[in-house]
Structure 1
């Protein structure tokens, strides 16, 4: 590992190599270091860490990921050794048995897990839902494999600007869809936040840069306010004699962006741009008492909002997060969030699950193991569709928790919004399936009743009860949804078998020979997506069997006539009937779909109306390929739920089409301002006005103006000129 020249050839800087060596020396024994050097030297000689096909260096990725594991996650030697040995194993300069012999079964198991995960990611269809299921199952085998992959993806997305546009977008989607929610679940909040910010940077650069500039502009005023807020707290804390740090921190760019979208306000209207954090150096046995002491000091100085108290001291989150959050009214009548925690709690908050190996006796590890076990059971359930599995996976990752109790006082953690029925299924699937109602704090409630923190719940069951399809409309836990779907499917299968027998008997009675192919075409023509749906309708008696047989005979007669009519036509001239062919939409040569495909049918999505020059992506929908802007209001939802349907797309050549764009204009309701706006548009070459609508209220006008133009350069130039008109306050593009 001392072969400096080899590493430099791989694009690895010497400073990072030294950082890695320092971290290894602090975590490995002298014997482990010698063994590791021997294996790596052999791998370097065989060029195991070189890969000309890859964007960037394998050595660079390996070393940088190891540094993240050691410095940012505080991981111990087995994980780091396993990552370093992954390349020698793949390049066959050593094998698993040798690794097991030199470093033990623990390291060998992690390497095996990495090989399984990386082999899935290497396939061309890595974003396909079925492949993602396999990937998640492999990840769920060992928590440390998840942490290594998170560290690896964190490094890659930090360096994403040096990658190709196609790879960068694929990486951003993968990070957003898989690794960001995993980081959230494992309590790696710093990493989760950084990944969210970088995703925004690469998918909506305009929004990212706008917020970044605004944060920078408001820094001086914000720092003055934080100092003013902290000063009296600091003075009171010094009197107590407790050891502490107190600081203010700005909230992340992505969270501010979410607030702007959710609250539909401008940047200046967001009051909670920052939070104050008090970190105590408390002994383990005094942690809670000293945190509540600080709480008392803060709430004596500033009026608290009781609705926004979050007590994760008494009952930590399932990922081990412990902290006390309060929101108080600060100077200038502004709400300020204050977070109170100890140094140990802060390290767990920063490093998440990885920090638990440092602190013995913390129970979060077993809770996470339980989550992994439940995750594997759900993912391996063949009765659940792939898309549903991925939805359930996301649901489990991003839930906010509430804490409820059984009549005996046993604690249950459920997602916020959970119902009586969710609670029943959390106890046992049989209890959930037969649940008819419940009692909350002694009061009778229905199975739809939403639970609150601290509720004491009793479940009432009946042997005559069974799962209903409408239950899926109000349960929120993946366990409840999975069990309900499983029961419904089992019941549906029984009904389908009965319906099949009924159909066969009617066909036999009418002395008809059924062609399976013709029957399948009829079922499709009738609008059924699956054969099961068809037979369920028969079982429910909402579809008459005799009517179906009559339709079958009619279809068979038509197909026979068509066959006779075309049987003498040559194959190259034959065109099947009833097949609609759709012409290319707008100038498909202007777009390159996926890697190098041109002339592919697509449609421009109406939700965001992309025009030539916008940053775009393709999305495979039931109506074909739709082209969306990267900052489309629906993009996050589509890409987080169905990343495997996303395909890269870019504009090519020169724009030959015209596109319609609607502009939202706000200004003073002055005489002549509309004429000034329309005259500017009239003078612009290649730009035409299609429509204009104006409303005025309290001296302001709000107008929507639709124009046709060729590309974003023309659009940006027009917006700049319209904003310069006297009396115009804002001009923005509507989605």
Structure 2
């Protein structure tokens, strides 16, 4: 045990001679004691893992509190140590860092969650923690990297599960935060466990070709160095080793043999200014043949993680291709260390501010990268789609997808978008209002649909119209989370306003029907508050969405006898209609004394039969009525059953009652969409209720219809509602 601690401290001292060892020794001993008796799958004492995590953090040049948090990062999750103990011993800052990387599923939950939900909520907590202190992601990635390095000790099923999660989430996160070294190692380790045969094959090819490839790269570097020296340019030139996963990915995408991919050499040239980057590029292209369409300028157009460099591919005199990256030393630090460079610059920045009273350009670059990543996380977490655990993981993977394109406005502004973005995404990237009022787009001078997918270099002109507004269809092809978020927010606001208007209309109609008088809005507000609704907009919106029924209002303001009177058969339109209705013809005789059967609720358009009662006129049934009593009467007294038809020629004086059951998917605003159809057709709903059953929503509606044509129009309009499953009369 003592040897392990001394070994850890010796490695820390070699990596970071600037750090004080005593606080690290205390944290090591605290963690070791907390994890006493715990072993890893490798049968090594558990302290090996947090110590290795801390060493990875030390290599990233982070501050001492972050390294201490790395030593303690599993204490809240896997031991009896509590937050207050960490805070008392190591301070609030370190304790909060440890809490930030602690999984949610260590706490108690009332509801039983699936693994998928737990995974989503853990990642959500991680992202929220990063917005509070970005060092959380450094600790989490260091933790995951050491777990991947020791994955061989786990069962195969766990190896694949952890490697898949790492490749889907952690490696892209490392890329997003500019931690290239960690990204490359994570990807190579994932390849080892997910595609072991391909991993072995690539390693074998590298081993076989390494000597010849190294000689070629060495000779090419010498020739480039001589050329630059002739032009009085000092530069650091190194060969770049292709990583196993990048070779595997290129093989899958381009279907090239592994040997051909590995044979493509790569070098990096580092100079001391941006101007010299472009000068070196010109010299390289003057001395070697550039490959067409291989040049990429990531200095003028940085990647989302603030990566900057010039990329080109040239062909040597021997006919071999060489990839070349050209960048400054500051760009190189950011490319290799990403946000970790923030702490490398921090002391230098503080010195400049104290003595020179200004920031250097390099400080601004690092700070911009730092803030950009925090903005990305906050924007992602605000997406309505990301609110559910089911969508969270897929949306996170989509947002971490690294490929980007650069589109250009007619004024020459460069707009950076994810690969696959459309012309409409471009409009939203310019301004939300431009997106909302986009009527059409031109790409490279040609009028194209707004759903057209853009390519890097496209010049895009947006055509706007103040009368143009978003369509729900846009959500099917918009690519960026920002544009989808804006469109969804627009429709949420629109649906809220429609619900308010519909609710106000329902309230006014029902108030007149039941002779309820409200002289001022203050009286209505008082009524709303009695129903535990605190403002009128919410009150009307709940009425419009069916979350509040008018019967609830009647119960609130009327005594029991008034409630009974309000819904008694004497005042019920259905009762009065069934005592006397028009629209049935028997031969040339109409306007008979009719009753409508409650069992089958016939309406115009149904095939109908009449049963001649003794002294009460005729009761109307559907010809398909399954009521056992009616079926029995047809057998016993067939002479009393007559065929009837609807009278479409004479004008109906009263509408017919209908009961309808509507079933749809349990989605937001389904009920509101149904109510809007009734409202637009001026069909008065006398009663309605909705209930959710698993993934479906079932609604029963009682209303009045005055013609078969209107009934058919109602069904046709309802069938257009998204998520509708069935419509039945009952």
Instruction: Say whether the fold is shared (TM-score over 0.5).
Output: yes
* Structure 1 residue 231, shift from structure 2 partner: 3.5
**1:611-650 CA-partner distances (Å, limit 9, x unpaired):** xxxxxxxxxxxxxxxxxxxxxxxxxxxxxxxxxxxxxxxx
* Structure 1 residue 218, shift from structure 2 partner: 1.8
**1:259-282 CA-partner distances (Å, limit 9, x unpaired):** 2222334334447533122233x2
- Which ranges in structure 2 are unaligned for 5 or more consecutive residues? 350-362, 496-667, 700-713
| Distance of aligned partners of 1:217 and 1:38 in 2 relative to their CA distance in 1, 3 Å threshold | closer
Where does 1:38-437 land on structure 2 (aligned, <5 Å)?
38=26, 40-42=28-30, 44=32, 46-48=33-35, 50-52=37-39, 56-71=44-59, 73-86=60-73, 96=83, 105-115=92-102, 119=106, 125-128=114-117, 130-141=120-131, 142-270=133-261, 273-280=264-271, 282=272, 287-359=273-345, 360=349, 361-384=363-386, 385-404=388-407, 412-437=415-440
**3-state SS of 1:218 partner:** helix
Instruction: Between 122-131 and 298-307, report the one with greater CA deviation.
Output: 122-131
Matched, 1:480 2:483: yes
* Structure 1 residue 16, shift from structure 2 partner: 4.0
Q: What residue number does 2:672 align with?
A: 497
CA contact (8 A) 1:66 1:80 kept: yes
**3-state SS of 1:250 partner:** coil
| Distance of aligned partners of 1:275 and 1:119 in 2 relative to their CA distance in 1, 3 Å threshold | farther
CA contact (8 A) 1:181 1:397 kept: yes
Distance in 1 separating the partners of 2:725 and 2:234: 82
| Distance of aligned partners of 1:188 and 1:500 in 2 relative to their CA distance in 1, 3 Å threshold | same
- Which ranges in structure 1 are unaligned for 5 or more consecutive residues? 525-535, 554-735
Q: What residue number does 1:447 align with?
A: 450
Distance in 2 separating the partners of 1:87 and 1:315: 40
TM-score by length of 2: 0.62
Distance in 1 separating the partners of 2:722 and 2:341: 63
**3-state SS of 1:233 partner:** helix
Where does 1:501-512 land on structure 2 (aligned, <5 Å)?
none
TM-score by length of 1: 0.61
**3-state SS of 2:102 partner:** helix
Distance in 2 separating the partners of 1:241 and 1:107: 49
By relative contact order (CA 8 Å, sep 6+), the higher-ranking structure is 1
| Distance of aligned partners of 1:121 and 1:333 in 2 relative to their CA distance in 1, 3 Å threshold | farther
| Distance of aligned partners of 1:168 and 1:376 in 2 relative to their CA distance in 1, 3 Å threshold | same
Distance in 2 separating the partners of 1:497 and 1:248: 64
* Structure 1 residue 295, shift from structure 2 partner: 1.6
Distance in 2 separating the partners of 1:383 and 1:41: 44
Q: How many pairs does the alignment contain?
A: 521
Cα RMSD (Å)? 4.3
Distance in 2 separating the partners of 1:256 and 1:549: 56
**1:565-588 CA-partner distances (Å, limit 9, x unpaired):** xxxxxxxxxxxxxxxxxxxxxxxx
* Structure 1 residue 458, shift from structure 2 partner: 5.2
| Distance of aligned partners of 1:411 and 1:105 in 2 relative to their CA distance in 1, 3 Å threshold | farther
**3-state SS of 2:61 partner:** coil
**3-state SS of 1:325 partner:** strand
| Distance of aligned partners of 1:49 and 1:407 in 2 relative to their CA distance in 1, 3 Å threshold | farther
